[in-house]
A = this chain, B = another copy of it.
């Protein structure tokens, strides 16, 4: 049974076929957030702090940290952001950058075993990122595109993922340390985006036996009532075998979908997490809580 082990200095999280769905909070990312980008570039991390605490409180299992700000010193800002976030939470982090020097700067300061986001199937990326994964003994998100771009054919994307897993093995990296992103396209533009993703997720799980993740909200890009579509997608992807997603834990519909999917797949033992979140207290329990609050 495949398990990807990530950790902070004090907390271990396992992404796995029989584990509850792993919610990777996406908020600490200045892409498309001009105000946050300006703040981070100016050394103001108040929003990063707030986003960290809010995502932890909302039930994220990991946090993605991205510092991609045009013309800024991304390696330095990413390293600083990671140190700050690790001082605020014990959740393991995903170190997110397309710049190898930034990944390396992040890895150098990270406490624990992070997930590196990401490597693609392009030769130069593989040769730049895989040695880092081996050197720091960590896990990596593998995006199933290569020099030829993103194929619409899920079987071509499967072949790219397979090649990444093989190349990683050449570097001494195990399949359990690779979390494949099937690249979910906007369904409003590509009507088969869902079917392609579900087919690919199934093949990745059954044939390559790797964990999977994706940027879930991409599927609803350009459509109204996005939370409803994201929720449907998350349940269906989980049913097809997806084991994590980079998503916004502050959205109740998506989080309910993920918790509901765990119940349905028998991953929430005795429905404990569902009951903790949704059970109305009995009148007696409510009164006990009230008395406790008054005494405090």
Residues of B within 8 A of A194 (CB): 263-266
Q: How far is the CB of A218 from chain B (nearest CB, A)?
A: 13
Q: 11 A–B contact pairs at CB < 8 A?
A: A191-B266, A194-B263, A198-B239, A223-B271, A228-B256, A232-B235, A232-B264, A235-B236, A236-B236, A239-B239, A239-B240
**For window 232-269 of chain A, which residues contact chain B by CB distance below 8 Å?**
232-233, 235-236, 238-240, 256-257, 259-261, 263-266, 269
- Which of B231, B271, B275, B278 touches A257 (beta carbons < 8 Å)? B231
Contact at B274–A223, with CB atoms within 8 Å? yes
Contact at A232–B263, with CB atoms within 8 Å? yes
Q: Roughly how many angstroms separate A270 CA and B222 CA in the complex, as a whole number?
A: 12
**Interface residues, chain A, with chain B CB atoms under 8 Å away:** 187-188, 191-192, 194-195, 198, 219, 223-225, 228-229, 231-233, 235-236, 238-240, 256-257, 259-261, 263-266, 269-271, 274-275, 277-280
Tally of this chain's copies: 2
Q: How far is the CB of A229 from chain B (nearest CB, A)?
A: 5
Q: Roughly how many angstroms separate A260 CA and B264 CA in the complex, as a whole number?
A: 18
Q: How far is the CB of A187 from chain B (nearest CB, A)?
A: 6
Residues of B within 8 A of A192 (CB): 266
Of all A-B residue pairs in the complex, the 8 with the closest CB atoms, nearest first, are: A232-B260, A194-B264, A225-B278, A236-B239, A235-B235, A224-B278, A191-B266, A239-B239
